[in-house]
Amino acid sequence: MKQPKIRFQDVSKFFGDQPLFDGFNLDITEQEIVTLIGPSGSGKSTLLRMLMTLETIDGGEIFIDGEPLWHCERRSKTVKADEKHLRQMRAKLGMVFQHFNLFPHMSVLRNIAEAPIRVLGKSREQAYNDAACLLEQVGLADKADAFPADLSGGQKQRVGIARTLAMQPSVLLLDEITSALDPELVDEVLDVIRQLAATQRYTMLLVTHEMYFAREISDRVCFLDQGRIVEEGRPEQLFSQPQSPRTQSFLASFLRS
Amino acid sequence: MTFYEMLPLLLRGLGVTLLIVLLALPISGLVGFLAGITRLYAGWFLRSVVVVYIEFFRGTSVLIQLYWIYFVLPFLGVSLSAVSAGVLAIGLNIGAYVAEVVRGALLTVPQGQSDAAVALNFSAWQRLRYILLPQALANMLPSLGNLSIELLKATSLVSLITVADLTYQAKALADLTLQVGLIFGTVLLIYFFLAQLLAALFRALEKRVGRGLKRGGLQGG
Amino acid sequence: MDELYWDWGFALEVLPVLLQGAKVTLLATLLGSLLALVVGVVLALLRRSRLHFLRWTARGVIEFIRSTPLLIQIFFIYYITPEIGINLSPLATGVLALGLHYGCYLAEVFRAGIEGVDHGQWEAARALNLSRFHTYFDVVFPQALRAALPATGNYVIAMFKETPQLSAITLLEMMQLAKIIGSENFRYLEPLTLVGVLYLVFSLIAAIAVLLLERKFPPEGFRLR
Ligand SMILES: Nc1ncnc2c1ncn2[C@@H]1O[C@H](COP(=O)(O)OP(=O)(O)OP(=O)(O)O)[C@@H](O)[C@H]1O
Ligand SMILES: [Mg+2]
């Protein structure tokens, strides 16, 4: 079997002495689109943040392309990952946030071009050209010189996506990227992701409460509860014939609201 | 002695005061930024060193630190001129306060900003330099402006270790001529004017830094 | 060079003398704080006066005193009072200077406290037909002073830390005594270090006391009368 793009192996994570994850396992294949659903506090964000190195892990290991994330070889010894190793690994990942987290002191174009210039060492000209292309791609070509505060939520999030794509990651982590938006702005953001899924070859791990979207886009849906995957499967199967009672009641509560 | 005869002495004192301000201001800024950043991000050892520095210098007053550096350090083998002792004591003292301002301002930058910067693979230094500090700067400038005035006021203490600054000259002239109201009135006005100058300088800085940020709006991200 | 070393014998010898000085330091702080409270409240009220002239005068005085060195203010009072026929002891001079200087800081603290009192409270007072005096003393001050308590405490500690400046007018507080001992014995290490340590200790105790006070008075405020 092909090695998984991402592997969570026996991962544990504590907040205080309360375990959130304890021996957590999950494999994601290259170019697979996996959606996490689950009640609030079940650990969806934490899972993405551990992969993005925004949270440390307390046990186990996460592998990206077979390479451990939290450990590295130094002088032929396996040691705790240092900043250099983490930066190498992060280069494969990109994350889009629920609250956009755009840099308020930079124009839209600079928000996108800053990291390619500083981190990838692109020339200014190249970076700004590429940024303009990406803005075009997310339908905001006319907003290049605007500042984040001048944008609507949907526009901010599209800039957020463009900013992430500018770093050319192979894995996209999307954490409830539409849940801070007014309902009428949700689709303009989801359309961008639909477009990406249809035309590009990203591995995607996403958290969403938009069930119709999850159903339409995912190769696999995982229902997470209290740090465990209670049930997983193809979307049509999991949404129409959930096996576990907890999945059933979770989905039922969604239909009601 | 007429006022015009006193003027050269007062001006010479003013020159010394300005010299000390101009030397101590950058020292306090540099030390303060380094200490504030270290206290937030460095490992436990450096962090404890910085905490001890900050708490010691804020727990006692400039005058004690000044005397200690001027009178005690020579016993420990380090002799500084009165001016150097003054610059060092004032720079380190105000620096400790600057450190707390810098730390506080960095803490007000939302966590999401640093998260985004990590996700974009900025190095730790780049996160600080291009993402966190520019946003924190707008928040810290008003407090830094106040501290610059505290620094100016603190320079008057060097007169007590025989540095011939404005305060020293004023007191000498007062002892000599007994025209107390005129002399101290003038000198107070000069300090007041200098303080207003510093305040205006920092307001201008605030405007400059704020221009980019205000457009973006700090909550706008 | 034996003088490089800390001499415990000498330190223990001078400690009691310094503690005598500490009494003067604490007395100056106490009296200075009381004066500063009065000055602060008066200036804060003047800042809110209906008369334009009073408002601006108060504002100017506060700004001027806050942005000029305490040391010169001390000298100024020390030299000018005999000229106008008032003879003040060094302690009284020091208390006056500290009280005025920190009173101006407290004025801004109190003003912020008063302005922080919820608008509804003023309206309620007006609805109850309370006089201006009663509105201030029964409704506004209790809440405003409670809100101002932490900042006030910090300024009192700041004032305490600046008392060594009174050595400049020969007040025999801790610092002055330490300097005298130092110059008499040609050893500054122990007396000046001890003074520093004593100040640290006192500041720490005071900071804890402020925290305890904050805890003692509930956020709603306390009764003044
Ligand atoms: N920094 C933290 N400190 C302490 N507890 C935390 C921290 N971050 C997360 N938690 C706890 O971990 C649990 C999972 O949080 P997480 O944000 O991963 O949930 P989630 O599934 O994303 O929920 P939501 O749908 O509300 O976003 C929660 O109970 C939360 O309180
Ligand atoms: Mg979440």
pLDDT tens, position by position, B57-86: 999 999 999 999 999 998 888 899 999 999
Is residue B43 included in any domain, yes or no? yes
Indicate whether C216 pLDDT > 90.
no
Name the A residues in 137-156 with CB < 8 Å from any B CB.
147-150, 156
Which residues on chain B place their C-beta less than 8 Å from a C-beta of chain A? 110, 112-113, 115-116, 118-124, 126, 130-131, 134-135, 212-213, 215-221
Neighbours of chain A (3+ CB pairs under 8 A): B
What's the domain range around B49?
Answer: 3-215
CA gap B21, B155 in Å, rounded? 7
Which pLDDT value is given to residue A1?
Answer: 62
The answer to whether residue C71 scores a pLDDT higher than 50 is yes
Rounded Cα distance, C40 and C54, in Å? 15
Which residues form ligand 1's pocket by a CB distance below 6 Å?
A: A 15, 20, 38, 40-46
Check CB contact under 8 Å for C4 and B77.
yes
pLDDT of residue C130: 87
Is B167 a member of any domain? yes
Whole-angstrom distance, CA of residue A62 vs CA of residue A157: 28
Q: What is the mean pLDDT of residues C8-37?
A: 94
What DSSP state is assigned to residue A4?
P
A212-218 contact pairs (CB < 8 A, 24+): A214/A35, A214/A37, A214/A239, A215/A239, A217/A33, A217/A35, A217/A193, A218/A33, A218/A34, A218/A35
Distance of CA A38 to the CA centre of its chain: 16
Query: Mind listing the domains of chain C with CATH numbers?
Result: 11-216 (1.10.3720.10)
Residue A257: CB partners within 8 Å, gap ≥ 6?
none
Q: In chain A, what is the straight-line distance between the N-terminal and C-terminal CA atoms, in Å?
A: 42
CB A155 within 8 A of CB A149: no
Ligand 2 center to residue B43 CA distance, Å?
30
CB atoms within 10 A of CB B189: 12
Cα C131 to ligand 1 centroid, rounded to whole Å: 53
Residue of chain B whose Cα is closest to the Cα of C163: B61
The total number of structural domains that make up chain B: 1
Put simply, whether B71 touches C (Cβ < 8 Å) is yes
Directed axis angle between helix C70-83 and helix B166-177, to 10°? 10
Is there a contact between A235 and A215 (Cβ–Cβ < 8 Å)?
Answer: yes
Cα distances (angstroms) measured from residue A140 to each of A126, A147, A148, A154, A182: 19, 12, 12, 11, 18
Q: Residue B61 is nearest to which of C161, C168, C192, comparing CB atoms?
A: C161
**Which residues of chain B have a pLDDT value below 70?**
211-221
How many angstroms does the Cα of residue A177 sit away from the middle of ligand 2? 10
The pLDDT score that the predictor gives to residue B88 is: 97
Burial of C120 (0-12, 13-18, 19+ CB in 10 A): exposed
DSSP E strands in C93-197: the ranges are none
Residue B220 lies in a domain: no
Residues of chain B in contact with residue C162, where contact means CB-CB under 8 angstroms, are 61, 63
Kindly report the average pLDDT of chain C as a whole number. Answer: 90
Q: Does the pLDDT of residue C219 top 80, yes or no?
A: no
- In this structure, which residue's CA is closest to atom 24 in ligand 1? A40
**Is the pLDDT assigned to residue C134 strictly greater than 80?**
yes
Q: Which of B71, B93, B151, B201 to mutate to test the interface with C (most CBs of C within 10 A)?
A: B71
Q: Which CATH number characterizes residue B144's domain?
A: 1.10.3720.10
**Which are the contacts of C92, defined by CB distance < 8 A and separation ≥ 6?**
none
Is any Cβ of chain B less than 8 angstroms from the Cβ of A239? no
The answer to whether the CB of B169 falls within 8 A of the CB of B15 is: no
d(CA C192, CA C194): 5
Q: Given a contact as 3+ CB pairs under 8 Å, which chains touch B?
A: A, C
Higher pLDDT, B26 or C142: B26
Distance from C-alpha of A188 to C-alpha of A226, rounded to nearest angstrom: 32
pLDDT exceeds cutoff 80 at C33: yes
Q: Say what the pLDDT of residue C81 is.
A: 93
Which whole number is the average pLDDT over C62-75?
97
Chains C and B make contact, 3+ CB pairs within 8 Å: yes
Q: What is the ipTM of this complex?
A: 0.94
The predicted pLDDT at position B2 comes to 83
**pLDDT tens digits for C158-210?**
999 999 999 999 899 999 999 999 999 988 899 999 999 999 999 999 989 98
The residues of C whose Cβ lies within 8 A of any Cβ of B are 1, 3-4, 64, 67-73, 75-76, 79-80, 83, 161-162, 164-165, 167-168, 175, 179, 182, 187-189, 192-193, 195-196, 199-200, 203-204
Positions of chain A with pLDDT lower than 50, given as ranges? none
Residue A165 forms beta bridges with which residues? Answer: none
Chain-chain contact of B112 with A97 (C-beta, under 8 angstroms): yes
The answer to whether chain A touches chain B by having 3 or more C-beta pairs less than 8 angstroms apart is yes
Q: Is the pLDDT of residue C222 over 70?
A: no
Q: What's this model's pTM, rounded to 2 decimal places?
A: 0.89
Contact B170/C at CB under 8 A = yes
Mean per-residue pLDDT, C69-96: 94
- Residues 128 through 167 of chain B touching chain C, CB cutoff 8 Å: 149, 152-157, 159-160, 167
CA dihedral A147, A150, A156, A159 (to 10 degrees): -40
Atom 1 of ligand 1: nearest residue by CA position? A15
